[in-house]
Each structure stands twice: as C-alpha cells, then as structure tokens.
Amino acid sequence: MTKNFITYFLFACISFLSISLYGQNLIPNPSFDDYFEATRGHAHLDNLKEWYNTNQNKPKTLYGTPDHMFINESQPLKGIKDNFSPRTGQSVLGLITYMQRVVNYREYASIKLNKVLKKGEKYQFTAYISSGNNVAFGGIATNGLGFAFTNEKLKQSIYEPLLSVSPQYQLDDIFYATDWTKITFSFIAEEAIKYLTIGNFKDDLQTDLKYINYDIDPQCYIYIDDVCLVHIPSDTPTEEEKEEEPKLIVEKQATIKEEEPKDIEPEPNEVPKTLVYENRPVENQSSIYITTYDISIQIWDDRTIDGDIVSIFWNGEHVVEYYELTAKKRKFKVTYEPGKENRLILYAHNLGKIPPNTMAVAIKAGKKKRELNIKSDLGKCGAIQFKR
C-alpha cells in the first residue's frame, strides 16, 4: 500500500464512523461548492444551488444581497485571493451583518433542509466562520451573527433586520478572527422545522461594534463555510457533552473562547485587604461624554494573555478586586454621580509577562458605545474620565 492510499483509507474510515454515529448532514450544499457558474470571485447568492436570498423582493432600491464568494486566481477584489482561503473547496458564503452608512442594514441567507426536523428531537449544528484577513470587505467587528431554524420560510423586506425571529444560537460577544473558527451547538426542535436562515437578528442598538481597520465604507462582513446539521439520537452524547468544549473554538488560535475567569484570591500576607491607588499618580488616558447615569462596562485582555492582575476603582470604590484579565469579558455596571470624579481607574498589581499592564474596556451608556484601552504600571494608574 502507498502512503497516500493509507491516508485516504483512514480518512474514509473516520468519515464513515462519524456519519454512522451522527447520521447524514441535513443541510444541502454545505460547503457552497455547488454553483451555477464559476465567477470571477463575487456573485449574488442566486449563483449557489439550494441556497437563496431571504429577501425575495429585489426592489430597484438598496436591498440585502448575501454573496457567493468564489476564491480563484481571477478574483479581482483586493486582498482576497492572496490573503484568504476557504476552509474547504473554492467557495464560501459572505454576509454583511452591520453597515455604518445604512441604518439597520442586514443580509440573510436561507436554505430548505433535506428533511423536516421532528419536534422534541435533538440536533447538533456546526459551522466555520471567519472575518477574513486584510480583505477588501470589513473594517468593523460585531456580535449578533445568528442561526435560526424555523418551520415557516422567513421573508425579509428591503434590508431590515428580522427582529421577530429568535435564533437557536447567536454570537453574544464581538467576533473577529482571521482563522477559521468553529461554532457548534445543539438544540431540541420545538416544532417541525424546515428551514435554516443565517444573519444578524439584532438591530443596530443591540449590536456591539469594534473598529478593526480603516475602510471607506466600513461594515462587518463574515465568511461562512462547511455548515452541518445532524440528528442526535436520545442516547448519544453531543460533542459538547463528550468533550465539554466551549461553543466557539478557534482552530489555529485558541483565543476567542476561554474558560470562565475566576477571581484569584490574594495570598493573606501579600495583598492588603483594602487596596488603594492614592499612592500612585492617576493619568486620564481617555475621556468620554455621556448623557445617561447608568453605565455598562466590560473588561478583558484583547492582546496576549500574559497574567495581568488588576483592581478597578470607580469614584474611590472597588468595583473589581484583584482580578486576572483573560480574553473572556467580565461585565459590571457603574452609576455616574454628579459632583464626583467619575473616573474608571486601573490599578496594576503586576506587569504580566509583557509590560505594561493593559486592559481593554467596552463602554455602553444609552446609545453611546466605545471601546478603549487603559495602561497602568507599578508607578502610575491609567484612567478613563466620564463627563456629562
């Protein structure tokens, strides 16, 4: 036997066992490689077989147009053929989940399943998503991408978001990854289900943003490949149950989802019970103007996870005490108090492996949303000043 034959034989055996265990893929054309025409790279979804645009109206004015991206040497769009590859085959699905210049602009792709899902039965869905890598589309990362399984055929009018739909799964955190990232979840069908629709089911106010790079027409564009839906017999554990893996897994960079962060208790003789920052000068590194009193804060380490340990102060009080930053966002709320300093202060307990101690902060106050960074070291504290 040749080495190639052995490799192929083993792959075939593994594939057969996988199919035997979980059953057939209930989604037609799952890798988007069955198309009507080999294009120069960019075509509307109508070029894909089985898949269709959830918006069937096609008015003359602007309307949602999900894409069939055919990656090949004739691809004219800057950056795509050189810096981005499908996970398998030559094609991927492309969706805009947010557009800055058009309020509440959404694109959705739909497909009719091979079989009707039975009410009360368990199913497992898997897909791979990517933000691309220095490609022509993008500039913004968002949360909100969702996967909705429904009995009725969804219909979009013009380009508005489908707010009445509750997807079985959606991204709660802002997503950005240049590698292919695995999403997997299981659900029990609450009714007979015939269709799958993919897109952002949140409106702009519910969609969190992060600017990644400059673009003359900034938007969030997500590539999707290798979707799969299988029936799970009642006595068969899902992948999550067997491996206890997170729902979002990066194949090459395990930095998107991590275990739930845990507060690290200080050693009794090393850290005082009451932590103060008055012995270090405080530097206002950013200012933000708000119109509300209630403020939602998220903190995390958006760079190399290097063991940064912090305490966070708001108006002289602890809001987070002796906490190790990870890629997982920690959420809390503060209240603007007239007459007080209203500063979010980062106190560094160490410098981590890569100085200085750096923390990403997402701020939401009413309609105001911003993402900032604070840096602190053992000599001074960084801060964000809030003003009304």
354 domain-assigned = yes
Q: Are residues 99 and 29 in the same domain?
A: yes
2 domain-assigned = no
pLDDT digits (tens, 9 = 90+) for 63-78: 888 999 888 878 777 6
Please give the pLDDT value at position 183. Answer: 93
CA–CA separation, 259 vs 246, rounded Å? 8
Highest mean pLDDT among 122-136, 229-243, 333-347: 333-347
Residue 169's nearest CA partner among 137, 219, 129 is 129
Q: Are residues 197 and 287 in the same domain?
A: no
Residue 14 has pLDDT above 50, yes or no: no
Q: Work out how many domains the chain is built from and give that number.
A: 2
Please give the pLDDT value at position 73. Answer: 79
Residue 253 has pLDDT above 70, yes or no: no
pTM to 2 decimal places: 0.59
**CATH classification of the domain holding 72:** 2.60.120.260
CA–CA separation, 199 vs 110, rounded Å? 9
Please give the pLDDT value at position 242. Answer: 52
Q: What are phi and psi of 104, to 5 degrees?
A: 55, 35
Q: Are strands 282-289 and 381-387 parallel, antiparallel or unpaired?
A: parallel
Q: Are residues 144 and 222 in the same domain?
A: yes
Q: Are residues 380 and 330 in the same domain?
A: yes
CA–CA separation, 64 vs 107, rounded Å? 5
329 domain-assigned = yes
CA–CA separation, 179 vs 187, rounded Å? 26
Residue 273 has pLDDT above 50, yes or no: no
* Three-state DSSP class for residue 126: strand
pLDDT band for position 289 (cuts 50, 70, 90): confident
CA–CA separation, 32 vs 208, rounded Å? 29
Q: Which two tokens stand for residue 332?
A: 């809390």
More confident residue, 172 or 273: 172
Residue 10 has pLDDT above 80, yes or no: no
pLDDT digits (tens, 9 = 90+) for 89-108: 999 999 999 999 899 999 99
Percent of the chain topping pLDDT 90: 45
Please give the pLDDT value at position 115. Answer: 94
Highest mean pLDDT among 65-74, 180-189, 306-315: 180-189
272 domain-assigned = no
Q: Are residues 292 and 195 in the same domain?
A: no
Q: Which two tokens stand for residue 61?
A: 């004015």
CA–CA separation, 104 vs 97, rounded Å? 9
pLDDT band for position 277 (cuts 50, 70, 90): low
pLDDT digits (tens, 9 = 90+) for 21-69: 457 999 999 999 999 988 888 788 889 999 999 987 766 667 888 999 8
Give the dihedral sign, CA 249/252/254/255. Answer: negative
Please give the pLDDT value at position 6. Answer: 53
User: What is the 8-class DSSP label of residue 121?
Assistant: -
Count of CB atoms situated within 10 Å of the CB of 17: 10
Residue 330 has pLDDT above 70, yes or no: yes
Q: Are residues 286 and 228 in the same domain?
A: no
Residue 329 has pLDDT above 50, yes or no: yes
Q: Are residues 183 and 106 in the same domain?
A: yes
Give the dihedral sign, CA 171/173/179/182. Answer: negative
**CATH classification of the domain holding 313:** 2.60.40
Q: Domain range spanning residue 113?
A: 20-250
Q: Taking phi first (over 0 means left), then psi (-120 to 50 degrees means alpha), and beta for anything else, what does residue 230 get?
A: beta
Residue 386 has pLDDT above 70, yes or no: yes
For the residues 302-326, what does the mean pLDDT come to?
A: 88
* Three-state DSSP class for residue 97: strand
Residue 343 has pLDDT above 80, yes or no: yes
pLDDT digits (tens, 9 = 90+) for 108-141: 999 999 999 999 999 999 999 999 876 666 789 9
Please give the pLDDT value at position 59. Answer: 62
Q: What is the mean pLDDT of the chain?
A: 82
CA–CA separation, 139 vs 211, rounded Å? 6
Q: Are residues 123 and 238 in the same domain?
A: yes
Of the residues 226, 250, 274, the one at which a domain ends: 250
Burial 31-52 (b: 16+ CB within 10 A, else e): bbbebeeebebbbebebbeebb
For the residues 317-328, what does the mean pLDDT come to?
A: 89
Q: Which two tokens stand for residue 341?
A: 């300093």
Q: Are residues 180 and 290 in the same domain?
A: no
